[in-house]
Structure 1
Amino acid sequence: MSEPSPPTASLAPAAVAASKAQPPQSHAGKKAFAGKKPKKRPAFRIFEDIPKSGFLATAALSFVVMLTVWSALSYGGLMNPVFMPTPDKVFRTFFDQLGTSAYWHQIGISVFRVMAGFVLACVVAIPIGLFAGTYRHAEAFVEPPMEFIRYMPAVAFIPLIMVWAGIGESAKVLLIFIGCFFQMVLMVSADTRLVSKDLVQASFTLGASRWQAIQTVIIPAVQPRLLTTMRLMLGWAWTYLVVAELIAVNSGLGYTIMKAQRFLNTEQIFVGIIVLGLIGLISDRIFAFLSRRLFPWA
């Protein structure tokens, strides 16, 4: 008994006939297809990653543009030098100020005030935010007053702070704390609610208690977002520093800026602003480094 031929053998004549039936492609069509160039990828693509070198070059370009605009306004005489000093004058003042121990003392005082208010806000706000984000009853109890108070400007609390804490260092720390606390509670609560409910249910399936689910699932899952929230709130703490140093002070970067303003030393005002920006940028980069090292999966 002979074996049946494979299906490909029976289909081969039909395939040959079909190929003969197709009209041959014209020479002009082949030439047009061969001469068609692939589309060039656009420079700006949504959510597209770029090389690190390209990112750094673009970031440096942004500072160059800012310096160019500043130079054009000051050297070109478009602005009064009393209000817009030239970059070289500001940079000379910058290095002169940083060459004195007195200015570093002012920087140290401001850093202490910011970190004290920020750390105090983190210690109090993070547990409350975790509690409000985990339980709906806690959310209903905590978030409405936080939403109400967070729209009140921190400057409005200065008279009360002076009554409560006087005009010492505690008043400056308390103002920075108030500026950060209410926002941080709401942001931590929102971060906590983003934790996957499936992970929590899986922990219950494995026999975990409520506290064990919070300790082993919710807290580790929220840590990357929590670090990002702290990074943002530290920037807010620096913005409240100058406001805090308006309360009967004779030290700090905010004080040096206000003192320079009284005597129209605009270059010293620029120096104070630049120093604040540099300190904020350094602290921001530290948080970014910690985020990459501690939570590389995020």
Structure 2
Amino acid sequence: MLLQNGKESEITGMQSKTTEYSKTIKRKPASWLEPQKDISAKLYLSLSVASFLIFIGIWALLTYSGVVNPLFLPSPSSIIESGITLFTSYGFFTDIYMTLYRVLVGFILAFVIGMPLGLLIGSYKAAEAFFEPMVSFVRYMPISAFIPLFILWIGVGELEKVAIIFFGSLFSIILMIAVEVSSTRKELVEAAYTLGSSNFSVVRSVILPASIPGIMDTARLVLGWAWTYIVIAELIAAKSGIGSVILESQRMLQTGNIIFGILTIGTMGLISDLLLKKVSKIFFAWNDGR
């Protein structure tokens, strides 16, 4: 009898432990806390808006309370007033157009030249041995150091400003695309050869399609760098462009105009990034979840 009671109590204990363990297993964290877990579009948008609202709130608190001198950091309302003045009295739309033109022309030229070179380097080791050391060497040279040479070689016109964007973007595009292409899964390449594909067909039909989503991510990243290069390009002998507005405002101690110009560049960069991201999802959705 005692033995039977002991077995029953042992079984009961095991059942209670199993129940507790099951409850522990079922206690999963909220989806937005799980690594690599997708969240709803509504939550994503809410968090994105919240980050901007918090930034603006801290900014307003520092300026309207008088903690920061308006000369160093104007209030949000003062920045809006500066923007209205720039658009209505100083033709700021023209400056935006010129900046957008220089960035897009320089970046597109760099991408058109850099993509096939990156594909070549990433696909063939002989091309990697020939091109990569020199490309890596040039990539680490600061673009600002070349401005005097560009002025000497091609003057201070539009070509010089586009050249700064082009030169600053090209070598990063080449190397980053080469790394992306070289990361193509080897079993896909081997399977293509097994099915009788030629060397060119493997590059065109296997390596390139597998790499395109990553190449688009590279384009988004380097385009963001191009928006930072434009300020350097337009600080030298530019009669138009957001960079020239920032420089002229610095001379006149118009901090509001400086900050509005910086915010305008950031907004244009964000819009271009979102557009590239949308295009990538639409045209290359097959590899979106890799």
Question: Are residues 1:174 and 2:166 paired?
Answer: no
2:179, 2:230 → 1: CA distance?
Answer: 26
Following superposition, the deviation at residue 273 of structure 1 comes to 0.8
Among 262, 274, 285, which residue is 2:263 paired with?
274
Write the deviation string for residues 232-289 of structure 1: whole angstroms up to 9, x where unpaired. Answer: 1111111100001122111100000111111011111111011111111110110011
Query: Which amino acid in the other structure matches residue 251 of structure 2?
Result: R
Question: Are residues 1:248 and 2:234 paired?
Answer: no
Greater helix share, 1 or 2?
2
Residue in structure 2 matched with residue 5 of structure 1 by the alignment: none
SS in 1 for 2:33: coil
2:87, 2:48 → 1: CA distance?
Answer: 25
Residue in structure 2 matched with residue 265 of structure 1 by the alignment: 254
SS in 2 for 1:22: helix
Question: Are residues 1:127 and 2:108 paired?
Answer: no
SS in 1 for 2:211: helix
Residue in structure 1 matched with residue 192 of structure 2 by the alignment: 203
Residue in structure 1 matched with residue 100 of structure 2 by the alignment: 111
Residue in structure 1 matched with residue 210 of structure 2 by the alignment: 221
Following superposition, the deviation at residue 78 of structure 1 comes to 1.3
Residue in structure 1 matched with residue 29 of structure 2 by the alignment: 41
Write the deviation string for residues 57-102 of structure 1: whole angstroms up to 9, x where unpaired. Answer: 1111111111111112111111111111111111122234334681
Residue in structure 2 matched with residue 294 of structure 1 by the alignment: 283
**CA gap 1:219/1:39 in 2 versus in 1, 3 angstroms:** closer
1:141, 1:225 → 2: CA distance?
Answer: 24
Residue in structure 2 matched with residue 11 of structure 1 by the alignment: none
Query: Which amino acid in the other structure matches residue 222 of structure 1?
Result: S
Query: Which amino acid in the other structure matches residue 156 of structure 1?
Result: A
TM-score normalised by L of structure 1 = 0.86
1:204, 1:183 → 2: CA distance?
Answer: 31
Write the deviation string for residues 38-62 of structure 1: whole angstroms up to 9, x where unpaired. Answer: 7473563322322221111111111
Give the length in aligned residue pairs: 276
Write the deviation string for residues 147-167 of structure 1: whole angstroms up to 9, x where unpaired. Answer: 111111100001111111111
Following superposition, the deviation at residue 202 of structure 1 comes to 1.7
1:184, 1:273 → 2: CA distance?
Answer: 25
Larger mean CA deviation between 41-50 and 155-164 belongs to 41-50
Residue in structure 1 matched with residue 220 of structure 2 by the alignment: 231
Query: Which amino acid in the other structure matches residue 209 of structure 2?
Result: P
Query: Which amino acid in the other structure matches residue 254 of structure 2?
Result: N
Residue in structure 2 matched with residue 58 of structure 1 by the alignment: 47
Following superposition, the deviation at residue 22 of structure 1 comes to 3.3
SS in 2 for 1:78: coil
Query: Which amino acid in the other structure matches residue 22 of structure 1?
Result: E
Query: Which amino acid in the other structure matches residue 93 of structure 1?
Result: S
Residue in structure 1 matched with residue 84 of structure 2 by the alignment: 95
How well do the aligned residues superpose, as a CA RMSD in angstroms? Answer: 2.4
Residue in structure 2 matched with residue 183 of structure 1 by the alignment: 172
SS in 1 for 2:238: coil
Query: Which amino acid in the other structure matches residue 210 of structure 1?
Result: N
Unaligned runs of 5+ in 1: 1-17
SS in 2 for 1:47: coil
Following superposition, the deviation at residue 196 of structure 1 comes to 1.5
**CA gap 1:40/1:189 in 2 versus in 1, 3 angstroms:** closer
**CA gap 1:100/1:224 in 2 versus in 1, 3 angstroms:** farther
Write the deviation string for residues 189-234 of structure 1: whole angstroms up to 9, x where unpaired. Answer: 0010011222222222222211111111111111111111111111
1:197, 1:224 → 2: CA distance?
Answer: 17
TM-score normalised by L of structure 2 = 0.88
Greater Rg by CA: 1
